[in-house]
Structure 1
Amino acid sequence: MSDAPGSPAPADEHAAPALEPQPAPAADPAAAVPRVTAPTRAELDALPADRRLELMDLERQEADRRDQRRHRRLHTWILGAGVAATVGTLLVTALTLRSGQDQLTLTREGQVTDRYTKAVEQLGSDKREVRTAAVYALERIAKDSEPDRQSIRDLLAAFIRERDPAATVKTKDLPDEPTTDIAAALTVLARRPPDPATAPALDLHAARIPHTTLPSAYLIGANLRDAYLRSAFLDGADLHSADLSNADLSGAYLSDTDLHGANLDGANLRDAYLDGADLRDADLSDTDLRGAFLDGADLDGTDLSDTDLSDAYLSNTDLRGAFLSDTALSNTDLRGADLRNMDLSNTDLSGADLSGAALSGAALSNTDLRGADLRGTGLSEQEVRAMTDKVDGARFGPVE
C-alpha cells in the first residue's frame, strides 16, 4: 500500500545520523589586521608632489610623537631619581642629626660629670675662697643639669652641717655670722628651684648658723630641728611645714614668714619678730615666746598650750582659733586683741594690757587678772569677779 501523498518519507534506518551544526572558529585578531608594507622608493617617486609632502608631514609628526614619548620617559626617570635622592638625603640628614644629638648629649653629660667632680674636690679645699667658688660652681651645674639638683642640694646641706662650728664650741664663742663659704651655701640653697613633691626634706638639723641672712628663702618642709638660728634674718621666708622643734630662734626676724603647719615645739623664740607671720595650724606648744612680737600674726589653729607669752606683743591679733591651755600671758600686750568666746580659764593674764580687747563670751574661770588693764573691754568689775577672784589691782571702765 502506497503512502498517502504529502506524507513524509520513511526514515532510512541505514542512513548516517545527521550532524549538528558546529560554531565557526573564532577569527584570529592578528589575522584580521591587514599587513602594511612600506612603499618602495619607486612607488614614492610615482606619487604626486602633494601626496609626497603629506606623507613627509605625517612622518615628521610621528617622529615628534616618538621624541615626546622619549622625553616624557626621560623626565619621569629623572624625577623619580630626584625624589629618591631627596629621600635618601633627608634620611641621611636625619640619621646624622640624631647621631650628632646623641653625641652632643654624651658630651654634655661628660662635661657635667667632669665639672661636678672638680667642684666636689674643691669643696674639700683648705682655702675658704676655693670652697666658696666650688659652691657657686655647683649652683651653675644644678641649673644646667636637672637630674643632679637634688644630689647637689644634699651635698651643700652636708657641707654646711660639717663646716659650721662644732657642738663643742660654746655659744659665746660662736662667730657673729656664718663664714663666707657657709653663707654662700646657704644662699644657694635658699634660692634654689622648688623640690619635687617626692624629694626628701632638706636636712639642716642642728646647724649652727647664727645671724644668717636669708630673706624670702625657700625652706618648705626643711629639717631645722635643734638648729641654732639666733638673730637670723628670715623675713618673708617660706618655712611651710618645716621642722623647727627645739631650734633656737631667739631674736630672729620672721616678719611675714610662712610658718603654716610648722613644728616649733620647744623652740626658743624669745624676743623674735613674728609680726604678720602665718602661724596657722603651727605647733608652738611649750615654746618660749617671751617678749616676742606677734602683732597681726595669723594664729588660727595654732597650738599655744604650755607656751610662755609673757611680755609678748599681740596687739590687734585674732586669737580666737588658737589653743591657749595653761599659756602664760602675764604682762602681755593684748590691746585690741580678739579673744571672744575663748576659754581663758586658769590662764595667767596678770599685768596684761587688755585695753580695748574683745572679751565677750570669754571664759575667765580662775583666770589671774591681777594688775591687768581691762578698760574698754565692756566687762564690768562685777562681771569679772563673778568668774574669778584674782582681780586685785585690775583696772576697769572706759579707755581714757
Structure 2
Amino acid sequence: MRRSVVWGLVLASAGVLVVVVSVIFLVPRLLYPPLSEADLRGVRSAQARIELRQAQYRLANDARTAMLQSCVGLVVVIGAAATWRQVHVSRESQLTERFTRAVDQIGSSDVNVRIGGIYALEHIAKNSHADRDPIQFLLGAFVRGRLTWLVGSADGPEHPTPSVDDRLPVMNVRAPDVQAAMWVLERRIRTPDDPALYLSRVDLRGISLRGARLGRTLFRHSNLARAALTGARLDRSDFTDADLRGALLDGASLKGANLSRAHLQGAGLRRADVRGANLRGADLSGTVLDEALLTGAHADATTVWPAGLSAAARRERGILDAGPGP
C-alpha cells in the first residue's frame, strides 16, 4: 500500500514537471513563432530581416523568462505553504503529546508531579485557544474529584458542619495541588462566551484566592469556610447554600451573586460590593458589613442580619428587603 502511494506521488510529480517544461518551452514558441521566409517576403534588406528575426527571438525569450520566473515564484509559494502546513502539523502533534503527558501527570500519586502537570496544562492553554475549554473542564473535574463535598448523599458530610474547624491546615498545606489548580483556573484567559466554571460540592476550606477572577463560577453547596477571598471578583457567581463562615471577603466584588441560603456567619465583608446580590435565606449573623455596598441586594424574611442592622438601616443602605423587621 505504501509503495503504491509512493509511485503515485512520483508519477504525479513527473506529470507536473512535464507540464511545466512544456509550458515554458512550447507556449512562448506558439506566441512568438520564428519568422519564415514567407513572413519576410516584403522585406528586401538582409540586415532588416536579421533584425526582425532577432527581435522575434527576444520576444519569445522574454516570454519564456517571465513564465520561468512565474513558475519559480509558484514553486516558492507552494513550498512556503507546505512548510507552514508541516510546521502547523508538527505544532499540533507537539501540543497533543504535551497535553497527554500533562494529563498523565495530574493522575500521578506524587503531589509534585501533579502540580507540574497542572502548570503544564496552563502553559498549553495559553498557546492553544482550542484547548482552553477542555483544560478548564479537566482542572475543574480534578478539583471536584480530589476534594469532593458530597452534600445530601447517604454518607456525605453534614452541611454546614456543627462548627468551623480552625485547626484544619490551609489549602496550600492540606492539598497544594488543588491550590495550584485553583490559581490556574482563576487566572485563565477569559472571553465573553466562556463556559461557567463548575465547582459545586467541593471542599475548599482554607483556600487562598486573594484578588482572584472567578466571576460566573458555580460554588453551590461547597464548603469555603475560612477561605481567603479578599479583593476577589466573584460577580454573578452562585453560592447557593455554600458555607462561607469566617471567610475573608473584604473588598470583594459580589455584584449580582447568588448568596441564597449561604452561611456567612462571622465572614468579613468590609468594603465589599454586594449590589444586586441575592441574600434570600442567607445567614449573615456576625458578618462585618462596614462600608459594604448593598444597594439593590434582595433579602426576605428568612435572611438573618448582623445585630444592630435594623430594617430602617437596611432601607437606608438600599437593600430590597421583602421580610418584616424590627
TM class by shorter chain equals 0.7 to 0.9
Change (3 A) 1:324 1:180: same
**Shift of residue 216, structure 1, vs aligned partner:** 2.4
Q: Is 1:347 aligned to residue 312 of structure 2? A: no
Deviation digits for residues 203-238 of structure 1 (CA, Å, limit 9, x no counterpart): 100111122111222212111011111121222222
Return the alpha-carbon distance in structure 2 between the equivalents of residues 312 and 218 of structure 1.
Answer: 33
Equivalent residues of 2:314, 2:321 under 8 A apart:
no
With CA pairs under 8 Å and 6+ residues apart, which has the higher RCO, 1 or 2?
2
Measure, in 2, the Cα distance between the counterparts of 1:126 and 1:309.
45
Q: 2:135 aligns to what?
A: 152
Code of the aligned partner of 2:188: R
- What secondary structure, in the 3-state scheme, does the structure 1 residue paired with 2:218 have? coil
Alignment pair present for 1:185 and 2:168: no
Which piece of structure 1 moves more, 67-76 or 163-172?
163-172
Shift of 1:83: 0.8
Distance change >3 Å, CA 281–CA 68, structure 1 → 2:
same
Question: What is residue 176 of structure 1 aligned with on the other side?
Answer: 170
> With structure 1 as the length reference, what TM-score do the two structures score?
0.61
2:319 maps to 1:322: yes
Given that 1:207 and 1:228 are in contact with CA atoms closer than 8 Å, whether structure 2 keeps it comes out as: yes
Matched, 1:101 2:88: no
Give runs of ≥4 in structure 1 deviating > 4 Å: 165-171
> Deviation string for 1:295-326 (max 9, x for gaps)?
22221210122322223789x99844312344
Q: Residue 108 of structure 2 corresponds to which residue in structure 1?
A: 125
Q: TM-score, normalised by structure 2?
A: 0.75
1:243-262 equivalences under 5 Å are: 243-262=238-257
Max Rg structure: 1
Classify 1:240/1:145 alpha carbon distance in 2 versus 1 (closer, same or farther; 3 Å): same
Residues 292 and 311, structure 1, Cα contact 8 Å, conserved in 2: no
Give the structure 2 partner of residue 225 of structure 1: 220
Structure 1 pair 154–319 and aligned structure 2 pair: CA distance change class (3 A): farther
Q: Which runs of 5+ in 1 are unaligned?
A: 1-35, 37-58, 327-345, 349-400
Q: Aligned AA for 1:191?
A: R
- Structure 2: runs of 5+ lacking an equivalent: 1-41, 151-155
Change over 3 Å in CA distance of 1:243–1:213 after alignment to 2: same
**C-alpha spacing 1:223/1:166, structure 2 compared with 1 (3 Å):** closer
Which of residues 258, 265, 270 is equivalent to 2:260? 265
Q: Could you give the per-residue CA deviations for residues 49-103 of structure 1, whole angstroms, max 9, x where no partner exists?
A: xxxxxxxxxx9xx455344333322322221111101111111122222222222
Percent identical residues: 34
Match of 2:197 in 1: 202
Structure 2 counterpart of 1:281, from 268, 276, 279: 276
1:166, 1:95 → 2: CA distance?
57
1:216 corresponds to which of 211, 218, 225: 211
On the 8 A contact 1:294/1:317 being kept in 2, the answer is no
Task: Note the aligned Cα RMSD (angstroms).
Answer: 2.6
Describe the SS at the equivalent of 2:134. helix
**Structure 1's 251 and 72: CA in aligned 2 closer, same or farther, altered over 3 A?**
same
Distance 1:125 1:313 in 2: 51
Q: Taking structure 1 as reference, are residues 147 and 312 closer, same or farther at Cα in structure 2, changes over 3 Å only?
A: farther
